């Protein structure tokens, strides 16, 4: 429902109320008045019962989904959040199949790789178009890669997944003709196809709509592109190439997307996709409210962005038949959930990013190891996940062929409060008579732990971690904030002590490069200077961070899967040894979907349960 339609409905309710309150003697005059109003409206009054009123919009095939927060941007290059509108609106040259994990053609109908693995030619599908009807050609591919992703003045997460070798060189890219683009690599690069794959890889952007913004600068000296298509842009001006395009956006309420009439994909019978005419993406921060709306049939899906909370899973499983929906279980979810300390030792504006006393604690390995041993993850699983969670020890997804488990010798931090206290004492920390922890200089160990308030599982986990670390003598000031606020703290201001957040996963480890490479835009625990941000002084990567850089470069260069597995195994061991992140417990992939929705292909592999959104149809209206 659009904003205008909502206002019309409210207006009719007001008119009906007047009619009911009017005296009988005046109703003839009032009826004439109401008739005059009706003539001015684009439709006629059928009933004063709002439940009986149905707009034309309500008659089309539409899916009603939910997002936990407003979009941060309509510019894909600026995106650092999940979920986002780009799941619906943009495509890459290839895409990852959410069931098999294989990379399959998308905007490119095929690709060829040279024998020496240094040249890759992509061939676009014929007659591709943007949502405004303009042709989508090799020029758009060149623009996306050369002018946006490879541009040193554009700060985008997309860079990290396609920088090659020790010198972080980008491929050379050239247009062969209107449909063919050639990538020339400085050395073999195993993750190239993964880097081109939606929804988490590089998505193609429209040259005709954005080229001017890349060629000019604003008063702040930055490219105008950086501030182009911000979230306050008229959504109808956004040009897309995915199954949907933006129709309307009401901050804090909803995003409305409509079918892109020029989307290329068709079903097996040759019918144009997407199947659903419209997506209503309701913005609902509170998870309990999301559940309420799903149970009252106001939502078609719940759990597509993050798996269902365990108590929701149990509740909804009992209501499947009565509620006309099905609860799907896809096994372990591919993402991760972790806690991290701010290890950044740089200064900004003449002041340390992290208080110097706290920084000494956080950068002390024994301190981080003690915290890891003090967090009772079994208790988190039993109390919060009801035993349905998965205790994590690796940042690489369990579905990945490069995943290393404790059975393979990976170091783990099972709950051991005594061991945690011994680590702290050996590192010079001391306890007073009340069991409170102090460092060797007499400073009380106290810091702030932050997570996003809209995810109640994380809120509960943070509360338990606060209790666990309290037993270790630490005072944890627990703070929950809006997700966008937390994202700004991590990616821009760096104003945080410790945080709990999730990160999306996948089969290809190099997809994590933007988090783990020391120059990465999502390297939150020690975020390097980023283009367009205030200057940082004194930033430096540790030796073990440089070693992770080396392993990722080596892993990307290697073509042999078994050798790659060994390299990424070393990476996982290094992370567990140095503990820049403390892995927690993750969900089992679960999602509830109305029976009226067909075409679903669900598994725990993709980060988004509706990865084949264009194939989802609606068999009957609510």
Is the confidence at residue 52, as pLDDT, over 60? no
Contact 67, 252 (CB under 8 A): no
Looking at residue 266, what DSSP letter applies? B
Which two structure tokens, joined as six digits, stand for 51?
């439940």
DSSP 401: T
Report if residue 225 sits inside a domain: no
For the chain, give the mean pLDDT: 89
Query: Which stretch of 39-48, 306-315, 334-343, 421-430 has the lowest confidence by average pLDDT?
Result: 39-48
Bridge partners, 617 (sequence order): 598
| pLDDT score for 45 | 33
**Same domain assignment for residues 147 and 279:** no
Residues 303 and 426 in one domain: no
Q: Is residue 444 part of a domain?
A: yes
Distance (Å, whole) CA 302 – CA 554: 40
What's the pTM value of the predicted model, to 2 decimals? 0.82
Judge whether residue 514 has pLDDT over 50.
yes
Domains contained in the chain, number: 4
Last residue of a domain, one of 183, 214, 245: 214
Q: Kindly state whether residues 10 and 98 are assigned to the same domain.
A: no
Flag whether 220 is in a domain. no
Confidence check: pLDDT of 4 > 50: no
Q: Are residues 254 and 401 in the same domain?
A: no
DSSP at 489: I
pLDDT at 250: 96
CATH number for the domain that contains residue 120: 3.90.76.10
133 and 176 both lie in a single domain: yes
* Percent residues over pLDDT 90 in the chain: 76
Average pLDDT over residues 270-275: 95
- Which of 161, 182, 214 is the endpoint of a domain? 214
Q: Within this chain, do residues 34 and 105 fall inside the same structural domain, yes or no? A: no
199: left (phi over 0), alpha (psi -120 to 50) or beta: alpha
pLDDT at position 46, please? 35
User: Does 346 lie in the same domain as 301?
Assistant: no
Residues 43-54, mean pLDDT to the nearest whole number: 34
Backbone angles phi, psi at 350, to 5 degrees: 85, 0
Residues 6+ apart with CB under 8 A from 217: 223, 224
Residues 350 and 433 in one domain: yes
What is the sign of the dihedral through the CA atoms of 256, 259, 264 and 267? positive
19: confidence class by pLDDT, cuts 50, 70, 90: very low
DSSP, res 143: I
Give the domain-ending residue among 159, 181, 214.
214
Q: What pLDDT band is residue 47 in, cutting at 50, 70 and 90?
A: very low
Distance, CA of 548 to CA of 525 (rounded, Å): 14
The pLDDT tens digits for 528-576 are 998 878 889 999 999 999 999 999 999 999 999 999 999 999 999 999 9
Half-sphere exposure of 214 (CA within 13 A, CB side): 21
In a domain, 359, yes or no: yes
- Clarify whether residues 498 and 538 are in a common domain: yes
User: Sign of dihedral through CA atoms 258, 260, 263, 266?
Assistant: positive
- Assess whether pLDDT exceeds 50 at residue 323: yes
Residue 285 lies in a domain: yes
- Which CATH number fits the domain that encloses residue 614? 3.40.190.10
CATH of the domain at 436: 3.10.105.10
Answer yes or no: is 349 within a domain.
yes
Residue 32: pLDDT over 90: no
| Shared domain check, 556 and 420 | yes
Q: Phi/psi zone of residue 363: left (φ > 0), alpha (ψ -120 to 50 degrees), beta?
A: alpha
State whether 15 and 147 are in the same domain.
no
The whole domain housing 46 covers 3-54
Is the model more confident about 76 or about 20? 76
Collapsing DSSP states into helix, strand and coil, what is residue 417? Answer: helix
Residue 16 has pLDDT above 80, yes or no: no
Chain segment 391-407, per-residue pLDDT in tens: 999 999 999 999 999 99
pLDDT for 48 equals: 37
Judgement on whether residues 610 and 481 belong to the same structural domain of the protein: no
């Amino acid at each position: 429902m659009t904003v205008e339609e909502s206002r019309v409905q409210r207006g009719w309710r007001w008119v009906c109320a007047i009619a009911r309150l009017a005296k009988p003697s005046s109703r003839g005059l009032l009826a004439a008045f109401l008739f005059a109003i009706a003539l001015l409206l684009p439709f006629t009054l059928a009933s004063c019962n709002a439940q009986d009123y149905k707009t034309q919009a309500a008659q089309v095939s539409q899916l009603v989904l939910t997002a936990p927060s407003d979009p941060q941007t309509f510019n894909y290059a600026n995106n650092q959040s999940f979920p986002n509108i780009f799941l619906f609106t943009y495509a890459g040259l290839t895409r990852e199949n959410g069931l098999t994990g294989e990379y399959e053609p998308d905007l490119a109908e095929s690709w060829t790789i040279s024998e020496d693995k240094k040249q890759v030619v992509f061939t676009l599908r014929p007659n591709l178009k943007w949502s405004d009807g303009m042709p989508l050609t090799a020029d758009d591919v060149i623009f996306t890669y050369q002018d946006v992703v490879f541009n040193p003045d554009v700060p985008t997460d997309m860079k990290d997944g396609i920088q090659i070798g020790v010198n972080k060189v980008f491929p050379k890219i050239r247009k062969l003709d209107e449909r063919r683009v050639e990538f020339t690599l400085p050395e073999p690069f195993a993750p190239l196809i993964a880097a081109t794959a939606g929804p988490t890889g590089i998505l193609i952007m429209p040259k005709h709509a954005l080229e001017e913004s890349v060629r000019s600068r604003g008063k702040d000296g930055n490219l105008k592109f950086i501030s182009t298509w911000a979230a306050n842009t008229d959504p109808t001006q956004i040009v897309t190439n995915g199954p949907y395009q933006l129709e309307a956006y009401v901050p804090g309420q909803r995003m409305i997307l409509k079918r892109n009439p020029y989307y290329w994909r068709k079903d097996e019978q040759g019918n144009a996709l997407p199947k659903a005419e419209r997506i209503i993406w309701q913005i609902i921060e509170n998870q309990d409210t999301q559940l309420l709306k799903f149970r009252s049939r106001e939502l078609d899906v719940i759990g597509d962005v993050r798996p269902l909370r365990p108590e929701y899973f149990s509740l909804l499983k009992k209501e499947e038949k009565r509620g006309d929906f099905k609860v799907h279980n896809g096994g372990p979810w591919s993402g991760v959930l972790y806690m991290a300390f701010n290890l950044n030792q740089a200064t900004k504006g003449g002041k340390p990013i992290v208080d110097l006393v706290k920084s000494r604690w956080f950068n002390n390995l024994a301190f981080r190891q003690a915290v890891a041993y003090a967090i009772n993850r079994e208790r988190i699983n039993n109390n919060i996940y009801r035993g349905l969670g998965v205790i994590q020890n690796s940042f690489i997804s369990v579905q990945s062929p490069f995943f290393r488990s404790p059975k393979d010798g990976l170091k783990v931090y099972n709950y051991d409060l005594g061991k945690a206290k011994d680590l702290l004492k050996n590192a010079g920390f001391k306890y007073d008579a009340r069991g409170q922890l102090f460092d060797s200089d007499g400073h009380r160990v106290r810091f702030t732990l932050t997570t996003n308030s809209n995810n109640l599982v994380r809120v509960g986990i943070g509360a338990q971690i606060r209790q666990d670390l309290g037993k270790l003598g630490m005072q944890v000031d627990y703070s929950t904030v809006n997700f966008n606020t937390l994202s700004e703290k991590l990616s821009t201001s760096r104003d945080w002590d410790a945080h709990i957040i999730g990160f999306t996963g996948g089969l290809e480890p190099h997809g994590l490069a933007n988090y783990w490479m020391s120059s990465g835009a999502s390297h939150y625990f020690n975020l390097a200077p980023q283009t367009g941000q205030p200057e940082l002084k004194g930033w430096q990567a540790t030796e073990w961070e440089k070693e992770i850089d080396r392993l990722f470069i080596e892993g990307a260069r290697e073509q042999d899967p078994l050798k790659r597995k060994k390299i990424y195994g070393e990476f996982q061991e290094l992370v567990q040894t140095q503990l820049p992140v403390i892995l927690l417990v993750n969900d089992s992939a679960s999602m509830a979907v109305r029976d009226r929705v067909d075409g679903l292909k669900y598994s725990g592999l993709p980060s988004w349960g509706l990865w084949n959104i264009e194939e989802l149809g609606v068999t009957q209206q609510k």
